Amino acid sequence: MRPIKNGGIIVSKNILEAPFVKEMVEVTTNLYHHGWDERNGGNVTYLLDEKAVTEYLDPTKVVRNIPMDFDGSAIKGKYFIVTGSGKYFKNVKNDPACNLGVLRVADDGQSVDLLWGYTDGGKPTSELPAHLMSHIARLSVDPENRIVMHCHATHLLAMTFSHDLDPRAFTRTLWQMCTECLVVFPEGVSVIPWLIPGSNEIGKATAEKMKETRLVMWPQHGVYGVGRDMDEVYGLIETAEKAAQVYTYVQAQGGIKQTLTDENLKKLADAFGVTPRAGYLNL
Ligand code: 13P
Ligand code: ZN
């Protein structure tokens, strides 16, 4: 591609070729094909290095400023690629520029500067409070965290109707449904109360739990996951969802006759060098 002179800065690369755009296209397409993001369900935010962004975009060229009604000043100046509100994940691969946006948290912490995307005049996901608050919370315990992902994973969602919502009980069932689970999420999963989606209240509740676990259940709605890269967060959700699917089959087959014992789980943790969340095993 020929270099483009853009506001005095030579921007020589096509953003549709940017690895972070490709990763967003790939993950939203996969989430759609899993059936976890019907219609406009789900949202993804990906924290980007300034250097990666400025290879493709002129940071001085703000397309428009979009207000938010919560305080994002802890991450002012940070860049994210974010799925659009009301956008269908099935459509992202055919039109990334309409369905995704690259934005920077403005200096006032109360708005974001759009640098690219949402070409039809769209906005970032309505779940931006939960995402940005979760980024802030997660970065405080893991400075390498980059991604927050929300989806309507079918069997996990179903479990929030039929299973005890106590996080210890919920975690233990998932750990028992597949030997890999304890190794993948030894810290367990959190569960928050049912709250209005898109609200600051659900954002605060989610972010608080993100300091302890990388998976947070939203009862009767879906799941939130975080991770350092797409594989980590996608793999986390996929593993928990698989366990929930097995649980669904087990219930349909007449219920549990035998399962992983707490001794099995302890041996597993020792073999793989992970520490199960304190107090979650009966030993
Ligand atoms: P958005 O389309 O605003 O991202 O909302 C989808 C969703 O899943 C809300 O929880
Ligand atoms: Zn949702």
Give per-residue pLDDT as tens, 248-265. 999 999 999 999 999 999
- Report whether residue 99 contacts ligand 1, using a CB cutoff of 6 Å: no
The response to whether residue 259 sits with its C-beta less than 6 Å from ligand 1 reads no
Is pLDDT of 12 > 80?
Answer: no
Going from N- to C-terminal start, the domains of the chain cover 12-126, 127-283
Closest CA to 77 of 22, 132, 122: 132
Q: Which residues surround ligand 2, an ion (CB under 5 A)?
A: 222
Q: What local confidence, expressed as pLDDT, does residue 158 receive?
A: 98
Question: What is the Cα–Cα distance from 275 to 279, expressed in whole angstroms?
Answer: 11
Per-residue model confidence (pLDDT) at position 238: 98
Instruction: Work out the mean pLDDT of the chain and round it to a whole number.
Output: 96
Catalytic residues: 127
Distance 197 CA to ligand 1 centre (A): 8
- Cα separation, 125 vs 130, whole angstroms: 10
Q: Kindly give the distance from the C-alpha atom of residue 39 to the centroid of ligand 1, in angstroms, as a whole number.
A: 9
pLDDT, tens digit (0-9, with 9 covering 90-100), for 185-214? 999 999 999 999 999 999 999 999 999 999
Residues 227, 89, 171, 236, CA torsion sign:
negative
CATH of domain 12-126: 3.40.225.10
Per-residue pLDDT band for 28 (boundaries 50, 70, 90) equals very high
127-283, what's its fold? L-fuculose-1-phosphate Aldolase (3.40.225)
Ligand sitting nearest the alpha carbon of 118: 1
